[in-house]
A and B are shown apart, each in its own frame.
Chain A
């Protein structure tokens, strides 16, 4: 069931085009991530959904009702701001209770609901504190509680975990996801961090320079990116530019200098086509023993080992000066060592230029 529908949304700030022809549908109970680099228009899009900005053109529907011109307080949405905007003159309890007090809910109902949402977010002990006395993570939870207590049809979150340190951010990501599933509510979550987007979302919309360049299930977009920008934006990727030699059904061979590549494609290819072959670092195997099969494989010297905690990225330079990155969980290699790389043809993504 479609809850939110954006149709041909444009937003101009003077000469700046912040959003261009945005079309998007969000279903009930879904967590949609809007992923894009800084300045791509993510916040602007959220503000338009929440009613803080009017689109220059286009229509917004929530539950089939036209929302253009409807003020924020009359929309069934609630926003967790990028800077949280907790009211500094109110304590935690009154921050959370604010929306219900405005609605003139009876005080015992307010108390009950505040307690419930505080339990959900593990902040029962903080209710008497001033918001200025809380840590970043605690403020985060209060901001979330303040919105969730109103049970909005759509919760809008603008890079809410931005200021937190990495460890806390990872914990909060999982917890937010858990809460969203438990409440079965609809969330639109903005982030510029592709790893966060993968953890958080059912679907992801990728925004670049004010345009949605792809929408879909995050795993599919990651594994079958439509173009180079998306592939590179979603993390480290090896790209080989080559020319198709031979096509047979869905299989093809291509070459790039000395390199022989085998691949599979769903689309149409012809001999002589220029294509980009994309291989993720984690899909590349490393070995020190020479390989018999010369297809989909390269050899080179290790030039750098980038330690990333659970895994390491090994940077390899070939004799014809190509650079490859392969991911390994056992960093048993030394800089300067000669290694061999190999990948399966199923793991390479083909993008026509």
Chain B
């Protein structure tokens, strides 16, 4: 028994370390390497890729655009996804529609990207950040519904009944009971839709037109071999900032005593 446990422990830690963190560590390592080739032995230590990165105005612009898009996608998909979750859970008879809202989830990203392009083109809407946001939202809604509806389904309906019984009307009950109880699910879906949108390349590629986002910038830079180490520097910064945010959130979560179980 304990042998199996030990094996599992070593196995999971090795897999996580090797498959996830080793490539990341390599990227960070090579971002300080004075060579455009990713081979050992390590040449001289340098900051020059970081200097080159900060000199590139497109990099900063791409990051800002990505954040703007991700925020808009997060807000947009939540404001559609949350009411939709309520509709699905509370009006249980409409099960068929649940299947329909999940369709974007099943379609390949490439198909959504291409069809969005055709759609906007047919309507004569010029491609821009806005068209990217709209396409991302379509794909994010199912994510929000999946997470929020799962929480709503497991929510004991007697909490809301008890609140109404104690004198709270529908709005007060939502504000003081329902929302606080599903809040963890809402914040998780906000985070996931943000990250998903920030990371997305394919749908963005077809709908962004002449604008730029971080994944598009990476893609563009890959075509100039001398620029490749700059990508490692950019990746390192994104990884570092991302880790910092996750660290802060986890500290908050542990401090508040919210268990993993409370998230979904």
Contacts and interface: CB of A to CB of B under 8 A. Distances in A.
Q: Do A and B bind each other?
A: yes
Interface stretch (B21-29, B85-93, B156-164, B237-245): B156-164
A73 interface: yes
B83 interface: no
Contact of A83 (B158, B164, B168): B158
Contact of A81 (B162, B167, B172): B162
Given A73-B168, A73-B169, A102-B168, A81 B158 contact: yes
B161 A103 contact: no
- Chain A interface mostly helix, strand, loop or mixed? mixed
B167 A87 contact: no
Contacts of A147: 165-166
A85 B159 contact: yes
A58 interface: no
A163 interface: no
Interface string B155-196: 010110111111111001000110011000000000000000
Contact of B156 (A72, A85, A89): A85
B156 A73 contact: no
B172 A72 contact: no
A289 to B, nearest CB: 60
Contacts of B164: 52, 71-73
Contacts of B156: 83, 85
Nearest to A88: B181
A98 interface: yes
B164 to A, nearest CB: 4
B166 A78 contact: yes
Nearest to B179: A89
Interface residues of B, number: 17
A87 B159 contact: yes
Contacts of A52: 161, 164-165
A146 B180 contact: no
Contact of B165 (A79, A86, A87, A103): A79
Nearest to B168: A102
A71 B156 CA distance: 19
Contacts of B167: 73, 99, 102-103, 150
Contacts of A85: 156, 158-159, 161-162
27 contacts: A52-B161, A72-B161, A72-B164, A73-B166, A73-B167, A73-B169, A77-B165, A79-B161, A81-B162, A83-B156, A85-B156, A85-B158, A85-B159, A85-B161, A85-B162, A87-B159, A87-B162, A87-B163, A88-B181, A89-B181, A98-B163, A98-B176, A99-B166, A102-B167, A147-B166, A150-B166, A150-B167
Given A88-B159, A102-B168, 9 more contacts: A52-B165, A71-B169, A72-B164, A79-B162, A79-B165, A81-B158, A81-B162, A88-B181, A98-B168
Shortest beta-carbon contacts, A-B, top 9: A85-B158, A99-B166, A85-B162, A72-B164, A102-B168, A89-B180, A102-B167, A72-B165, A73-B167
